Each structure stands twice: as C-alpha cells, then as structure tokens.
Structure 1
Amino acid sequence: MPLYNDTAGTAALAICESLLLAMNDHDILPEKEIVGILKDAAAAHENAPAGDDDALHAAVAVLINGILNGGNSVRRP
C-alpha cells in the first residue's frame, strides 16, 4: 500500500503544480495568490493536531515550504 500512496501523492502534487502554473500563465490567479495558497497549505500541516500522523504532517509542510523556497510552482527565481 505505501507504493500506491507514494504514487498517488506524487501524481496529485504534479497535477496541482501544473494547475497553479496554468492559472498563473492565464492570469486567473496572480503569483501572490498562488504563494498564499501554498503558505496556507503548509500552515495547515504545521498546525495539525498532534497524533499518529505527526511525521507525515511535518514532511508535507517541509515539502510545500521547499516548493515555496525553490520557486518551482510559480517559476520564481
């Protein structure tokens, strides 16, 4: 089951990243809004209630913050 979850998660990330890029390219959402979406998503995982999924939430927050810092989702330098 972990391989399926990894595959599904990777596919979901790629799809969402492509949608964010397309929305920015077609002036549907400005870069500022896209960055806000990513920050909100990271914050949701950073502030998730403590429990069995703590490591997963932490890893997701690190991944999203890495996208923000690396500029991947909105083609920022």
Structure 2
Amino acid sequence: MSTASEHAGQAALSICEALLLAMNDRGLLPEHEIVGVLRDAAASHQNAFGTELEMAQHRSVADLINAIIAGGNSVRRP
C-alpha cells in the first residue's frame, strides 16, 4: 500500500517532468541541458553518503532518474 510520502514523491516527479517538457517546448532549455539537469540529479544521489538504508534509497532514486533519461520521459522526442 502506498504512503502519503510516496504519493507526494510521485506528484513531485510528475510536476518536475511537466516543467522540463514545458521549458523545452518554449525553447527555454534545449534537450541536452535538460538531460544534464537529470544527470546532475542522478549523480548527487549516486554520490550520497549515509546509513546502508539511506544509501540504498539514494541508489534507487539515481536508478529511477537514469531510467527517465534512457526513456526520454522528460523530453519530447520525434
């Protein structure tokens, strides 16, 4: 069963993806810069320190961001 924090995380992800798409559509950020933002976000989680549980959570977040990059979810591609 999902928790309120999981719902908040899903909402935040959806909002961020919509913002990235809108910025690309309006010509504010080109695709390579959007991918760069996502790579930076993934790297910050890949390089995070903490307890074993915290590090596993950070790795999961980095994996999710890298999957978004691979899938092109945040950039409209022809």
- Can you give the 5+ residue segments of structure 1 that lack an aligned partner in the other structure? none
- CA distance, structure 1, for counterparts of residue 77 and residue 39 of structure 2: 15
For the pair 1:35 / 2:43, whether they are aligned, the reply is no
Aligned 1:1-77 pairs, distance under 5 A? 3-51=3-51, 52-76=53-77
**Tell me, what secondary structure is at the counterpart of 1:72?**
coil
What letter matches 2:70 in structure 1? N
Identity score, percent: 61
- Can you give the 5+ residue segments of structure 2 that lack an aligned partner in the other structure? none
- CA distance, structure 2, for counterparts of residue 76 and residue 41 of structure 1: 21
**Tell me, what secondary structure is at the counterpart of 1:53?**
helix
CA RMSD after TM alignment: 1.3
User: Greater CA deviation, 67-76 or 31-40?
Assistant: 67-76
Give the TM-score normalised by the residue count of structure 2.
0.90
**Tell me, what secondary structure is at the counterpart of 1:73?**
coil
TM-superposition CA deviations, 1:24-70 (whole Å, max 9, x none)? 00001111110000000000000001324112101100000000001
Kindly tell me the number of residue pairs found equivalent between the two proteins: 76
- CA distance, structure 2, for counterparts of residue 76 and residue 63 of structure 1: 19
- CA distance, structure 2, for counterparts of residue 6 and residue 30 of structure 1: 30
- CA distance, structure 1, for counterparts of residue 62 and residue 13 of structure 2: 13
